[in-house]
Structure 1
Protein backbone atom coordinates (compact mmCIF):
# COMPACT_ATOMS: atom_id res chain seq x y z
CA UNK A 1 0.00 0.00 0.00
CA UNK A 2 1.19 3.54 -0.76
CA UNK A 3 1.06 5.64 2.42
CA UNK A 4 1.47 9.42 2.40
CA UNK A 5 2.66 11.02 5.62
CA UNK A 6 1.86 14.71 6.06
CA UNK A 7 3.80 16.34 8.87
CA UNK A 8 3.83 19.68 10.60
CA UNK A 9 6.46 20.56 13.16
CA UNK A 10 7.73 23.66 14.92
CA UNK A 11 10.58 22.39 17.10
CA UNK A 12 11.15 19.00 15.48
CA UNK A 13 9.27 16.58 17.74
CA UNK A 14 6.46 15.93 15.27
CA UNK A 15 9.05 15.54 12.52
CA UNK A 16 10.83 12.87 14.58
CA UNK A 17 7.54 11.04 15.14
CA UNK A 18 6.78 11.22 11.40
CA UNK A 19 10.23 9.85 10.47
CA UNK A 20 9.83 7.04 13.00
CA UNK A 21 6.36 6.27 11.61
CA UNK A 22 7.86 6.18 8.11
CA UNK A 23 10.41 3.58 9.26
CA UNK A 24 7.73 1.43 10.93
CA UNK A 25 5.34 1.60 7.97
CA UNK A 26 8.13 0.77 5.49
CA UNK A 27 9.22 -2.16 7.67
CA UNK A 28 5.66 -3.51 7.36
CA UNK A 29 6.14 -3.62 3.59
CA UNK A 30 4.40 -0.42 2.52
CA UNK A 31 5.68 2.30 0.21
CA UNK A 32 5.88 5.64 2.02
CA UNK A 33 6.07 9.23 0.85
CA UNK A 34 7.09 11.73 3.51
CA UNK A 35 8.21 15.23 2.67
CA UNK A 36 7.53 17.97 5.26
CA UNK A 37 7.20 20.53 2.45
CA UNK A 38 5.30 18.45 -0.09
CA UNK A 39 3.23 20.05 -2.82
CA UNK A 40 -0.22 18.89 -3.86
CA UNK A 41 1.13 17.92 -7.31
CA UNK A 42 3.79 15.68 -5.72
CA UNK A 43 1.21 14.16 -3.40
CA UNK A 44 -1.23 13.44 -6.21
CA UNK A 45 1.54 12.00 -8.43
CA UNK A 46 2.34 9.49 -5.65
CA UNK A 47 -1.28 8.24 -5.84
CA UNK A 48 -1.63 7.54 -2.11
CA UNK A 49 -3.76 4.64 -0.90
CA UNK A 50 -3.64 5.73 2.77
CA UNK A 51 -2.79 8.82 4.79
CA UNK A 52 -1.10 9.57 8.10
CA UNK A 53 -0.89 13.11 9.47
CA UNK A 54 1.58 13.88 12.26
CA UNK A 55 1.45 17.43 13.52
CA UNK A 56 2.14 19.60 16.48
CA UNK A 57 0.13 22.68 17.39
CA UNK A 58 1.41 26.23 17.56
CA UNK A 59 0.21 29.66 18.61
CA UNK A 60 -3.43 29.69 19.59
CA UNK A 61 -4.14 26.22 18.19
CA UNK A 62 -2.86 26.62 14.63
CA UNK A 63 -1.02 24.21 12.38
CA UNK A 64 2.75 24.74 12.07
CA UNK A 65 3.96 26.91 9.17
CA UNK A 66 5.48 24.04 7.17
CA UNK A 67 2.18 22.13 6.85
CA UNK A 68 -0.03 25.18 6.20
CA UNK A 69 0.56 25.34 2.40
CA UNK A 70 -0.37 21.70 1.70
CA UNK A 71 -3.29 21.87 4.15
CA UNK A 72 -4.69 24.96 2.40
CA UNK A 73 -4.13 23.59 -1.10
CA UNK A 74 -5.82 20.26 -0.27
CA UNK A 75 -8.71 22.16 1.32
CA UNK A 76 -9.12 24.32 -1.79
CA UNK A 77 -9.11 21.33 -4.17
CA UNK A 78 -10.59 18.48 -2.06
CA UNK A 79 -9.36 15.67 -4.36
CA UNK A 80 -12.25 13.23 -4.86
CA UNK A 81 -9.84 10.34 -5.53
CA UNK A 82 -9.03 10.14 -1.82
CA UNK A 83 -12.61 9.49 -0.69
CA UNK A 84 -12.83 6.25 1.26
CA UNK A 85 -9.07 5.83 1.78
CA UNK A 86 -7.86 4.82 5.27
CA UNK A 87 -6.11 7.40 7.41
CA UNK A 88 -5.04 8.39 10.86
CA UNK A 89 -3.71 11.37 12.82
CA UNK A 90 -1.07 11.76 15.50
CA UNK A 91 -1.33 15.09 17.30
CA UNK A 92 1.38 16.52 19.51
CA UNK A 93 0.69 19.21 22.05
CA UNK A 94 0.87 20.25 25.66
CA UNK A 95 -2.20 19.56 27.81
CA UNK A 96 -1.48 22.65 29.90
CA UNK A 97 -2.76 24.70 26.95
CA UNK A 98 -6.29 23.43 27.64
CA UNK A 99 -8.69 23.95 24.74
CA UNK A 100 -5.93 24.15 22.12
CA UNK A 101 -4.28 20.86 23.17
CA UNK A 102 -3.58 18.96 19.91
CA UNK A 103 -5.71 21.47 17.95
CA UNK A 104 -3.41 21.04 14.93
CA UNK A 105 -4.22 17.34 14.91
CA UNK A 106 -7.92 18.12 15.20
CA UNK A 107 -7.66 20.37 12.13
CA UNK A 108 -6.11 17.51 10.18
CA UNK A 109 -8.90 15.17 11.35
CA UNK A 110 -11.47 17.67 10.11
CA UNK A 111 -9.69 17.93 6.75
CA UNK A 112 -9.60 14.14 6.43
CA UNK A 113 -13.33 14.02 7.22
CA UNK A 114 -14.02 16.64 4.53
CA UNK A 115 -12.00 14.54 2.07
CA UNK A 116 -13.90 11.39 3.00
CA UNK A 117 -10.75 9.73 4.37
CA UNK A 118 -11.79 6.95 6.79
CA UNK A 119 -10.21 7.37 10.20
CA UNK A 120 -9.18 3.79 11.03
CA UNK A 121 -8.06 4.63 14.57
CA UNK A 122 -8.87 7.47 16.97
CA UNK A 123 -6.32 10.27 16.92
CA UNK A 124 -3.29 9.67 19.11
CA UNK A 125 -2.67 12.65 21.38
CA UNK A 126 0.90 12.93 22.61
CA UNK A 127 1.32 15.29 25.57
CA UNK A 128 4.69 17.07 25.75
CA UNK A 129 4.22 17.57 29.49
CA UNK A 130 4.14 13.77 29.97
CA UNK A 131 6.74 12.44 27.53
CA UNK A 132 10.25 13.10 26.33
CA UNK A 133 10.17 10.34 23.69
CA UNK A 134 7.02 10.88 21.62
CA UNK A 135 8.35 8.71 18.78
CA UNK A 136 8.55 5.61 21.00
CA UNK A 137 5.26 6.53 22.71
CA UNK A 138 3.63 6.42 19.26
CA UNK A 139 4.82 2.86 18.52
CA UNK A 140 1.83 0.93 19.98
CA UNK A 141 -0.62 3.18 18.11
CA UNK A 142 1.41 2.85 14.90
CA UNK A 143 1.41 -0.95 15.20
CA UNK A 144 -2.40 -0.94 15.30
CA UNK A 145 -2.55 1.62 12.46
CA UNK A 146 -0.34 -0.57 10.26
CA UNK A 147 -2.54 -3.55 11.11
CA UNK A 148 -5.55 -1.64 9.76
CA UNK A 149 -3.68 -1.00 6.52
CA UNK A 150 -3.06 -4.70 6.05
CA UNK A 151 -6.61 -5.72 6.83
Structure 2
Protein backbone atom coordinates (compact mmCIF):
# COMPACT_ATOMS: atom_id res chain seq x y z
CA UNK A 1 0.00 0.00 0.00
CA UNK A 2 1.30 3.44 -0.95
CA UNK A 3 0.84 5.77 1.98
CA UNK A 4 1.39 9.48 1.51
CA UNK A 5 2.27 11.42 4.66
CA UNK A 6 2.21 15.21 4.68
CA UNK A 7 2.78 17.70 7.45
CA UNK A 8 2.51 21.29 8.50
CA UNK A 9 4.70 22.75 11.21
CA UNK A 10 5.95 25.98 12.69
CA UNK A 11 8.87 24.99 14.92
CA UNK A 12 9.50 21.50 13.54
CA UNK A 13 7.69 19.24 16.04
CA UNK A 14 5.02 18.09 13.57
CA UNK A 15 7.67 17.42 10.93
CA UNK A 16 9.63 15.33 13.45
CA UNK A 17 6.49 13.38 14.37
CA UNK A 18 5.76 12.82 10.66
CA UNK A 19 9.29 11.63 9.88
CA UNK A 20 9.28 9.30 12.88
CA UNK A 21 5.86 7.93 11.85
CA UNK A 22 7.12 7.32 8.29
CA UNK A 23 10.08 5.32 9.61
CA UNK A 24 7.80 3.27 11.84
CA UNK A 25 5.22 2.71 9.08
CA UNK A 26 7.97 1.61 6.68
CA UNK A 27 9.15 -0.88 9.32
CA UNK A 28 5.58 -2.18 9.45
CA UNK A 29 5.82 -3.00 5.75
CA UNK A 30 3.99 -0.01 4.29
CA UNK A 31 5.43 1.99 1.40
CA UNK A 32 5.51 5.62 2.61
CA UNK A 33 6.27 8.83 0.84
CA UNK A 34 6.67 11.97 2.95
CA UNK A 35 5.87 15.49 1.74
CA UNK A 36 6.60 18.74 3.50
CA UNK A 37 5.55 22.00 1.85
CA UNK A 38 3.96 20.25 -1.10
CA UNK A 39 1.28 21.16 -3.57
CA UNK A 40 -1.72 19.21 -4.75
CA UNK A 41 -0.15 18.20 -8.09
CA UNK A 42 2.82 16.60 -6.34
CA UNK A 43 0.59 14.85 -3.83
CA UNK A 44 -1.68 13.43 -6.55
CA UNK A 45 1.31 12.41 -8.70
CA UNK A 46 2.35 10.09 -5.86
CA UNK A 47 -0.89 8.14 -6.48
CA UNK A 48 -1.65 7.63 -2.80
CA UNK A 49 -3.62 4.62 -1.62
CA UNK A 50 -3.83 6.06 1.92
CA UNK A 51 -3.15 9.39 3.62
CA UNK A 52 -1.69 10.51 6.93
CA UNK A 53 -1.64 14.19 7.87
CA UNK A 54 0.44 15.53 10.76
CA UNK A 55 -0.03 19.15 11.74
CA UNK A 56 0.65 21.55 14.52
CA UNK A 57 -1.77 24.32 15.46
CA UNK A 58 -1.09 28.05 15.40
CA UNK A 59 -2.84 31.17 16.57
CA UNK A 60 -6.45 30.54 17.40
CA UNK A 61 -6.62 26.97 16.13
CA UNK A 62 -5.26 27.58 12.67
CA UNK A 63 -3.00 25.65 10.32
CA UNK A 64 0.71 26.42 10.01
CA UNK A 65 1.62 28.65 7.06
CA UNK A 66 3.45 25.83 5.26
CA UNK A 67 0.28 23.69 5.08
CA UNK A 68 -2.20 26.39 4.03
CA UNK A 69 -1.43 26.21 0.25
CA UNK A 70 -2.11 22.43 0.09
CA UNK A 71 -5.17 22.78 2.33
CA UNK A 72 -6.55 25.54 0.10
CA UNK A 73 -5.95 23.54 -3.09
CA UNK A 74 -7.61 20.46 -1.63
CA UNK A 75 -10.66 22.46 -0.50
CA UNK A 76 -10.97 24.24 -3.83
CA UNK A 77 -10.62 21.16 -6.04
CA UNK A 78 -11.87 18.26 -3.88
CA UNK A 79 -10.00 15.75 -6.08
CA UNK A 80 -12.01 12.61 -6.75
CA UNK A 81 -8.81 10.53 -6.68
CA UNK A 82 -8.78 10.81 -2.87
CA UNK A 83 -12.41 9.82 -2.31
CA UNK A 84 -12.71 6.58 -0.39
CA UNK A 85 -9.03 6.35 0.58
CA UNK A 86 -8.24 5.36 4.15
CA UNK A 87 -6.53 8.01 6.20
CA UNK A 88 -5.86 9.54 9.58
CA UNK A 89 -4.70 12.73 11.28
CA UNK A 90 -2.22 13.52 14.02
CA UNK A 91 -2.78 16.93 15.58
CA UNK A 92 -0.31 18.73 17.81
CA UNK A 93 -1.41 21.46 20.15
CA UNK A 94 -1.33 22.95 23.62
CA UNK A 95 -4.29 22.16 25.88
CA UNK A 96 -3.85 25.46 27.73
CA UNK A 97 -5.57 26.92 24.66
CA UNK A 98 -8.88 25.22 25.45
CA UNK A 99 -11.00 26.25 22.48
CA UNK A 100 -8.28 25.86 19.88
CA UNK A 101 -6.48 22.76 21.19
CA UNK A 102 -5.32 20.76 18.14
CA UNK A 103 -7.40 23.04 15.93
CA UNK A 104 -5.07 22.48 12.97
CA UNK A 105 -5.66 18.74 13.19
CA UNK A 106 -9.41 19.32 13.46
CA UNK A 107 -9.33 21.41 10.27
CA UNK A 108 -7.56 18.60 8.39
CA UNK A 109 -9.96 16.02 9.84
CA UNK A 110 -12.92 18.08 8.60
CA UNK A 111 -11.24 18.42 5.20
CA UNK A 112 -10.75 14.65 5.02
CA UNK A 113 -14.49 14.27 5.66
CA UNK A 114 -15.22 16.71 2.82
CA UNK A 115 -12.84 14.83 0.52
CA UNK A 116 -14.41 11.47 1.36
CA UNK A 117 -11.20 10.19 3.00
CA UNK A 118 -12.22 7.44 5.47
CA UNK A 119 -10.56 8.15 8.81
CA UNK A 120 -9.89 4.60 9.99
CA UNK A 121 -8.63 5.57 13.45
CA UNK A 122 -9.61 8.60 15.56
CA UNK A 123 -7.39 11.66 15.34
CA UNK A 124 -4.42 11.55 17.71
CA UNK A 125 -4.15 14.71 19.79
CA UNK A 126 -0.65 15.33 21.13
CA UNK A 127 -0.51 17.88 23.96
CA UNK A 128 2.61 20.02 24.35
CA UNK A 129 1.69 20.42 28.04
CA UNK A 130 2.00 16.67 28.58
CA UNK A 131 4.89 15.56 26.38
CA UNK A 132 8.40 16.52 25.43
CA UNK A 133 8.72 13.59 23.00
CA UNK A 134 5.61 13.67 20.80
CA UNK A 135 7.24 11.46 18.17
CA UNK A 136 7.65 8.56 20.60
CA UNK A 137 4.32 9.24 22.32
CA UNK A 138 2.68 8.76 18.91
CA UNK A 139 4.17 5.29 18.39
CA UNK A 140 1.26 3.20 19.80
CA UNK A 141 -1.21 5.19 17.69
CA UNK A 142 1.01 4.85 14.58
CA UNK A 143 1.18 1.09 15.15
CA UNK A 144 -2.63 0.92 15.45
CA UNK A 145 -2.96 2.95 12.25
CA UNK A 146 -0.59 0.60 10.42
CA UNK A 147 -2.58 -2.41 11.62
CA UNK A 148 -5.86 -0.82 10.54
CA UNK A 149 -4.40 -0.16 7.07
CA UNK A 150 -3.24 -3.76 6.74
CA UNK A 151 -6.68 -5.06 7.72
CA UNK A 152 -8.22 -2.97 4.98
| Coarse TM-score class (shorter-chain normalised) | over 0.9
User: Which residue matches 1:74?
Assistant: 74
TM-score normalised by structure 1 residue count: 0.98
| Distance in 2, Cα, partners of 1:76 & 1:26 | 31
1:13 paired to 2:13: yes
Cα distance, 1:26 vs structure 2: 1.1
Q: The residue matched to 1:3 in structure 2 has which SS? A: strand
- Long gaps (5+) in structure 1: none
| Distance in 2, Cα, partners of 1:88 & 1:35 | 15
User: Which residue matches 1:147?
Assistant: 147
User: Which residue matches 1:61?
Assistant: 61
| Distance in 2, Cα, partners of 1:33 & 1:74 | 18
Residue by residue over 1:113-132, the C-alpha shift from the partner in whole angstroms, topping out at 9 and shown as x without a partner, is 00000010010000000000
| Distance in 1, Cα, partners of 2:52 & 2:93 | 17
Residue correspondence of structure 1 range 24-103 to structure 2 within 5 A: 24-103=24-103
Aligned positions, number: 151
Residue correspondence of structure 1 range 91-130 to structure 2 within 5 A: 91-130=91-130
- Long gaps (5+) in structure 2: none
Cα distance, 1:49 vs structure 2: 0.4
Q: The residue matched to 2:96 in structure 1 has which SS? A: helix
Q: The residue matched to 2:64 in structure 1 has which SS? A: coil
Q: Which runs of 4+ in 1 moved over 3 A?
A: none
| Distance in 1, Cα, partners of 2:33 & 2:69 | 17
Cα distance, 1:39 vs structure 2: 1.4
